Amino acid sequence: MSDTGSRRRTWLAGGGAVLAAALLATGCGSDSTSKSGSGGDANAKITLTVNLFSDFGYKDLYAQYHKLHPNITIKENRADLGAHHQNLHAHLVAGSGTADIEAIEIGQVAGFQSQASKFVNFLDEGVDKNQWVPSKTAPASSRDGSSLFGLGTDMGGMALCYRADLFKKAGLPTDRAAVSSLVANWDSYFATGKQFLAKSPDKKVKWFDAGSNVFSAMTAQAPQAFYDADGKVIADSNPAVKQAFDAVAGAIKDGESAGIAAFTPAWDTGFRKSQFATVTCPAWMSYEFKANPPADGGKWDIATIPGGGGNWGGSYLTVPKQGKHTKAAVELAKWLTAPAQEAWLFKNKGFFPSDQALWSSPDIANLTDPMFSGAPTGKIFSESAKNLKPQPLGPHGADIGNIYGNALVSVEQGKAGTDKAWSNANAEIKNIGE
């Protein structure tokens, strides 16, 4: 299955060793040898390379940028999320091989913080970091705050997507305000799931798609999840993580999960065949709903996420100093993350902007989406972002999330009970270090 549009498959990431080796052998740097903007002809024809780990929705923006800068051609490369970040680490250590622009996912960015000096400092390039909230800029800054090495792209403001028609058949409210009140917290969400299963005429339809997705949403809301403020792994001792794991595992045992591995072909089929009634959905996930409409004609709607706000996912654009065209790359990165382009990406691709001024802009705040029954997606995701509680991040946050997600899959598949899955996960986490 293509990864087009599927922006943050974090808990599935990893592996990609063969692809990583191939990219390390060939390199992904620019095909030119001169530093643009550093003494050469500013109008010389150059090719800027951009390394991403999925579709950021930039194709049309590249074409627009080329019209504004006819001398610049943009070449995009994509790799698996895990392989992409492995390659970037290796190229930084080797001192060569990076693209002109490299994307970094929020779950990976802490692992590059110690290498901030190897990236261009955007604070020296006229960037005002107040364009983003501190929770967005801090992870992509040097530890002393003197350098900003990543420009925020999208954010994963969260909501609860639900099938209003399936709710109606089960005798549940369908109005999004009523649904938001019904599932105001996670206890009421799981309790409503039991009601749904008891009253739904179609016993094949489950309450949610995958335990891993619910767990990701729950832990994204915690003040601390896998790391503390000092960078210490606290996943196995953090009550918020354990409570989320136990709650999701309990719901799985109650039959609420469809048990479908997220971001797989089977998951796409689950959308089309109406195999689940709710999905914890960050803004970037909206592509999945649009790409896989229900075959029975049912409609999705959006309510407030249980527990309030939160952020799940998001990325940054960086410019490694070893790149061939650092000056031109900086200008492109700044342009792609400017308010106008971030607004366009949300309206056309569903990628919620990390530019905080846009959250109150009528252009965004008043946006509705016909795919979600005309729901005010701009308002819902903006409020979620405003209610965000920043949490400490660490270099292996994505890996830890993967491990817990896979542990919940083992519960869904009947391969392990809750306690065994939990202990197995924590034993694996101890092997990845701080």
**pLDDT classification of 41: cutoffs 50, 70, 90:** low
Average pLDDT over residues 234-261: 97
Average pLDDT over residues 55-80: 96
Query: Is the C-alpha dihedral spanning 356, 360, 366, 372 positive or negative?
Result: positive
Query: Over 80: is that where the pLDDT of 5 sits?
Result: no
What percent of the chain clears pLDDT 70, i.e. is strictly above it? 89
Question: Over the stretch 343-369, which tens digit does the pLDDT of each residue have?
Answer: 999 988 889 999 989 988 988 888 998
Query: Over 90: is that where the pLDDT of 288 sits?
Result: no
Q: Where are the domains of the chain?
A: 10-155+313-365, 157-312+371-432
Q: Which two tokens stand for residue 430?
A: 């101890």
Q: Are 193 and 251 in contact (CB under 8 A)?
A: yes
Query: Over 70: is that where the pLDDT of 18 sits?
Result: no
Query: Is the C-alpha dihedral spanning 116, 393, 213, 132 positive or negative?
Result: negative
Least confident residue range of 87-91, 196-200, 304-308: 304-308
Please give the pLDDT value at position 38. Answer: 40
Average pLDDT over residues 130-149: 91
Least confident residue range of 10-19, 248-257, 260-269: 10-19
Closest CA relative to residue 220, chosen from 241, 189, 250, 242? 241
Range from 30-34, 108-112, 129-133, 148-152 that averages highest in pLDDT? 148-152
Query: Over 90: is that where the pLDDT of 371 sits?
Result: no
Q: What average pLDDT does the chain have?
A: 88
pLDDT greater at residue 427 or residue 392: 427
Average pLDDT over residues 381-387: 80
Please give the pLDDT value at position 390. Answer: 73
157-312+371-432: CATH class: alpha beta
pLDDT greater at residue 289 or residue 206: 206
Query: Over 60: is that where the pLDDT of 19 sits?
Result: no
Query: Over 60: is that where the pLDDT of 40 sits?
Result: no
Q: Give SS3 for 418.
A: helix
Does the reported pTM lie above 0.85?
A: no
200 vs 391: CA distance, rounded Å? 38
Backbone angles phi, psi at 361, to 5 degrees: -75, 130
Same fold, 10-155+313-365 and 157-312+371-432: yes
* Angle subtended at Cα 12 by Cα 203 and Cα 387, rounded to the nearest 5 degrees: 80
285 vs 289: CA distance, rounded Å? 7
Please give the pLDDT value at position 398. Answer: 83
**pLDDT classification of 21: cutoffs 50, 70, 90:** very low
pLDDT greater at residue 229 or residue 273: 273
**pLDDT classification of 312: cutoffs 50, 70, 90:** confident
Q: What is the largest CA-CA distance in the chain?
A: 71
| Pairing assessment for the beta strands 46-52 and 206-208 based on DSSP bridges | unpaired
- CATH code of 10-155+313-365, in short, is 3.40.190.10
Q: Give SS3 for 214.
A: helix
Average pLDDT over residues 133-161: 91
